[in-house]
Amino acid sequence: MSESVTESGLPLHPLYGPQTLQDWDAEQQLGEPGQYPYTRGVYPNMYTGRPWTMRQYAGFGTAKESNERYHQLVAAGTGGLSVAFDLPTQMGYDSDDPIAHGEVGKVGVAIDSIDDMRLLFDGIPLDEVSTSMTINAPGSVLLLLYQLVAAEHGVDPGKLTGTIQNDVLKEYIARGTYIFPPAESLRLIADTFAYCRQELPRWNTISISGYHMAEAGATPVQEIAFTLANAKAYVQAALDAGLDVDDFAPRLSFFFVARTTFLEEVAKFRAARRIWAQIMRDEFGATNPKSLMLRFHTQTAGVQLTAQQPEVNLVRVALQGLGAVLGGTQSLHTNSYDEAIALPTAKAARLALRTQQVIAYETDVTKTVDPFAGSYVIEAMTDEIEAAARDLIQAVEDRGGAVAAIEEGFQKSEIERSAYQVTQQIDSGDRVIVGVNRFTVDVEDPYEPLRVDPAIEAEQAARLATLRAERDQPAVDAALAAVQAAARGADNVVYPLRDALAARATVGEVCHALREVWGTYVPRDAF
């Protein structure tokens, strides 16, 4: 029997047995579900009590259009919303900024002010629905808009649940929607931790993301290693700001990908939990069990979807979603089958949600806690992934930690090397992609994608002109000045940000106020 290798380049044997787990201590390496080291899951009952949160990622065009999609998803049974923002919003620019031309509403919803946020969540019960927002550099700004709208709905801030991604370090590594330099970005994140501890106690203040690194080409080992190295940097930044580890660590969350390489993905999630529990207990001295728990959201692998024979993506997504569930995810977004072509249609989004519902209610995987525990192959792969990830985390530490390694370009170059290898394998046919380099068809079935109306940009600009004409401009100017004063000093900048947004300052205006004080990040390879 010939041997192969995993996505991470680790050996994948054709047969596993007791000999592969020699000297393996089940009590030390597994433990019980809901107990240290959390290999078997962060909760004792996992899905036997209730399933994971079923999130669907949606957002396009205007706030009104996205609101209509959210109502459809809630009616279809989704337990959590996940907001996609357009590129200008992610970069902290208003829709009428010249730099935003051609991008308004394209890859997500355009949010320029509290007026747009009101429309986005009109009629949505914010005290009943958990909301995740994929926003990073201006993450605190969008969270504040959400809080202000919830207050207008009469919702107690203590009842708001959800997550902001707020993970800017991975933007420097793999995605590029950064604004401020790393030190200032970490300061804003630490301020957000402190703010939410006081004002939004149930909100997850960060979703430390390996997903986007995986989409850029990271292997499973690189995904969890670089994510956990970034997480260590965030924890240290919060400690340096004077916070106690057990005051903020229970609200940390993570965001990973689920690939079609089913067994390795299950093992990856188990290894990540074990590593994080040890880091938090032994390196940072956390004592609250919730501080040791790696709770994570999963999204199926968008990069593995194909525009060719897109219906085949339904099969891919089902397998990826099942892997995430067997790996112990706390919430899950299943991609729509048509996302490799365009924004998902309403039918495709509903089918993606139905995929999760079939896994939850028609299979038996939710009837028992940790179905794969004790599997020779899973336990061996978990150990191997853990060892390789620890080595890579140490390589980051040897370079001075995540920020120093980012500035050196270490993580980015490692991921690019892995991505290039995958591209070579696909081009040579060594890696089979069904419908792309094998099992192809001569003529694709017709498909009508969802299109974003280009008139949206003019509509958003008109809304901004109206807002600026109606608001109390001296009050806005004073509020923006207060933001800059806090940014220059040591006060928590999130509070004056909230006041400015309440006065109807725009997302672009508050981000620009911070740009004037903190500057913007220019990567090394831009010189």
pLDDT digits 0-9 by tens, 425-450:
999 999 999 999 999 998 888 877 77
Tell me which H or E stretch contains 104.
Answer: none
Contact (CB, 8 A) for 41 and 297 = no
Enter the tokens of residue 230. Answer: 């970034």
Q: What is the per-residue pLDDT for 180?
A: 97
Q: What is the per-residue pLDDT for 73?
A: 85
One-letter amino acid at 152 equals E
**Domains of the chain, residue spans:** 43-428, 456-522
Q: Which residues of the chain have pLDDT under 50?
A: 526-527
**Is the whole-model pTM more than 0.85?**
yes
Contact (CB, 8 A) for 369 and 48 = yes
Residues 432 and 204: their CA atoms lie apart, in Å, by: 39
Residues 330 and 294: their CA atoms lie apart, in Å, by: 10
Domain 43-428, what architecture?
A: Alpha-Beta Barrel (3.20)
Radius of gyration of the chain (CA): 23
pLDDT digits 0-9 by tens, 131-169:
999 999 999 999 999 999 999 999 999 999 999 999 999
Q: What is the per-residue pLDDT for 342?
A: 84
Enter the tokens of residue 333. Answer: 């977004």
Q: What is the per-residue pLDDT for 76?
A: 85
